[in-house]
A and B are shown apart, each in its own frame.
Chain A
Amino acid sequence: MLKYSFKRLFQSLITLFIVITVVFLLMRLMPEEGYFGDGYEKLDEAQREAILSSMGLRDPMHIQLKNFYLDLLSGDLGESIIYRAKVPIAQILKTKIPYSVRFGLAAMAISLIFGVSLGITMARSKNQLWDKMGTGYIVFINAVPAAIYYLFLQLYITDILKLPILFNPDRPVSWILPTISMSLGGTASYAMWMRRYMVDELNKDYVKLARAKGLRDKTIMVKHVLRNAFVPMVQYLPTSLLFTISGSIYIESLYSIPGMGGLLVDAIQRQDNTLVQALVLIYSSIGIIGLFLGDILMATLDPRIKLDRKAGAR
């Protein structure tokens, strides 16, 4: 287990290093207007060159790379150029991330609790009422564009329940609808996968043996089936958990929540090169770290996963 974790950790670090390098090199290919902000038109060629070299962008590539790594190691993501000129990116993120994470975590908790229990209920009553209702819900959520039911919730439910239409950090009731809206999709997908894995497991031979042993169906469900069905889902949980910091573009703009959603799109549109670079780095690191944690989690739950070649007596 320990050996496996170290091996996976080492692999992740190498991947992370490669990603960082590739992102940095690709960003060098972006149009250079992105480094000037609004004043671009007013500057002549010599002034532009002066600014670029003052930012170190005219240094040889290996020097630039080295400086970039050193900055990253000391936690410096650089300064924003256009989005909020001359403000350190870390500071921009510091104000935005908490909003996104709070909503994201709450929504994820709700989707996990409801999605997983819905999936279990559906699997246990396969082809009966609960299963059909659940399937209806899943199909609806997946088939109807999210924008439609998000808008519906915002326009009608706020009216019916007399909830505030926009986010207000000081009024907790205004947090309810965005959280619920955000959890709808997650609930559907957790329910769908949970049902599917449960049904798979319920048909396995070890369930028959457990019944023949004299265990009650409920005990079999809790002690045998649940963990087996959960293993394939567990791999992606850390990734989803970490990605809550990226926020939801649509929900955040609907309720005007000052979160991370849409920041990347914004930065790209406004050609804020350093901000784009920082965000791409963060998101790709999250992906790598999430998968690493997922693998570790799966290995702790499933004794069959061992990377060392020797797999006991065979």
Chain B
Amino acid sequence: MTDSNIILSVKDLVVKFNLRGKILTAIREASLDLYEGESLAIVGESGAGKSVFTKTFMGLLDANGWVDSGSILYKGEDLAKYKREEDWIKIRGREFAMVFQEPMTSLNPLKTIGSQVEEAVILHQGLKGNKAKKKVIEILDDVGITEPERRYHQYPHEFSGGMRQRVVIAIAVACNPKVLICDEPTTALDVTIQAQILNLLKELQKKYKLTTIYITHDLGVVANIADRIAVMYAGDIIEIGTCEEVFYNAQHPYTWALLSSLPQLGVKGEPLYSIKGTPPNLFNEIKGDAFAPRNEKALKIDFVERPPYFQVSPTHKAKTWLLDPRAPKVEPPESIKILRRQWQVRANG
């Protein structure tokens, strides 16, 4: 991964919302580089700002939200400066496409599946009439919808949840985008369907040479599909690295806590771990490390100053004072130590 492969570069992005006169800071100076062709997972608990973060790339923030400062560089343009619909029209669908969380309500109930996919084909691939229809049927076939010619004329209510999600994915693919953002694509589906949809997304990524961003709070999903993981907490990316690095060599106490909460890592006979407390109130200004109040082993400086990124490896960095050479040695939880040992064994053997 070199800098020349960077397709999207977000720097110090701040996103605010006005909620009944009160200002909420949803994204606090988050930065991210996205490499062409990779699949990046953004994980974090509800309200961490995962969705909002990616929505800013497409200008899809709700009317009461805005980009306050920072930049989103894409193909030499700063998307953070876009205000008008005219500008966004060139980005939406054409460059970035999105798969939403709710397949049951994401489709217009009064229009046929075919016409909804076709809209995207006509708009972004410049096809018309029979050619467009052919393309739609081809795409429907690609996303695993059987009998696409018949299904083309059916309405959303004649599809199951998993099938509808396939249609939503078909619409995204039909836009022919460079980057596909999947906002919790499997959250609303049952487990067997989840695996199918994830496999489908992986196949499509290869076939259409997509760069993908997965938003999820399901670490199981992450292990399955991601090349890199970005951990988000209170509107900032506090740790980012390759999938292996973040799983087996986590550095930030929040990442530790997140991993320790995985049932698979629990110690037999002991209660499952859960993170104490609640995420910080984003209406207030946050001082120091946002996770400090919930972190039993927080350092004094965590409450005073916000940590910068410390590089762990060329591909791995985390925002925690523990990585500062002057920091005292803090032992990670038992489950993290086990993971690290596994990693070392792997690296050596």
Contact = CB atoms under 8 A, between A and B. Distances in A.
Interface of A: 204-206, 208-217, 223-224, 227-228, 231, 301-304, 311-314
5 contacts: A213-B92, A213-B93, A303-B157, A304-B109, A314-B160
Given A205-B105, A304-B157, A212 B110 contact: no
B105 A213 contact: no
Contacts of B221: none
Interface in B99-129: 100, 102, 105-111, 119-120, 123-124
B12 to A, nearest CB: 25
Interface in B55-94: 58, 60, 85, 89, 92-94
A67 to B, nearest CB: 49
Nearest to B181: A212
B60 A211 contact: yes
B107 A303 contact: no
A206 B110 CA distance: 11
Contacts of A216: 85, 89
A204 B160 CA distance: 19
A303 B124 contact: no
Contacts of A302: 109-110
A199 to B, nearest CB: 13
Contacts of B92: 211-214
B108 A206 contact: yes
Interface in B252-311: none
Contacts of B110: 227-228, 231, 301-303
Contacts of B124: 214
Nearest to B104: A205
A48 to B, nearest CB: 63
Contacts of A209: 98, 100, 106-107, 168, 171
Interface of B: 58, 60, 85, 89, 92-94, 97-98, 100, 102, 105-111, 119-120, 123-124, 154-155, 157-160, 163, 168, 171, 175
A186 B100 CA distance: 39
Contacts, number: 79
Contacts of B93: 212-214
B122 to A, nearest CB: 11
Given A214-B124, A312-B158, 8 more contacts: A205-B106, A206-B109, A208-B100, A209-B107, A212-B92, A214-B93, A214-B123, A313-B158
Question: Which 10 pairs show the lowest CB-CB distances between chains A and B?
Answer: A214-B93, A312-B158, A214-B92, A205-B105, A212-B98, A303-B155, A206-B108, A205-B106, A209-B106, A304-B157
B154 A312 contact: yes
A205 B164 CA distance: 13
Nearest to A206: B108
Contacts of A223: 119
Given A209-B100, A212-B92, A213-B92, A228 B109 contact: yes
A308 B80 CA distance: 52
B123 A213 contact: yes
Contact of A213 (B120, B154, B159, B160): B120
A302 B160 CA distance: 18
Nearest to B86: A216
A168 B190 CA distance: 71
Nearest to A313: B158
Contact of A311 (B58, B85, B158, B168): B158
Nearest to B105: A205
A210 B97 CA distance: 11
Given A212-B60, A217-B85, A205 B102 contact: yes
A302 B156 CA distance: 12
A220 B160 CA distance: 25
Contacts of B163: 313
Contacts of A231: 110
B95 to A, nearest CB: 9
A302 B159 CA distance: 16
Contacts of B120: 213-214
Contacts of B159: 313
Given A214-B124, A224-B108, A208 B155 contact: no
A263 B311 CA distance: 89
B115 to A, nearest CB: 9
B105 A215 contact: no
Contacts of A210: 108
B333 to A, nearest CB: 39
Q: Which of A209, A224, A314 has the most CB of B within 10 A?
A: A209
A191 B268 CA distance: 63
A212 B157 contact: no
Contacts of B171: 209, 213
Contacts of B155: 303-304
B158 A214 contact: no
B142 to A, nearest CB: 17
B60 A208 contact: yes
A231 B93 CA distance: 29
A206 B123 CA distance: 17
Nearest to A301: B110
Nearest to B90: A214
B244 to A, nearest CB: 32
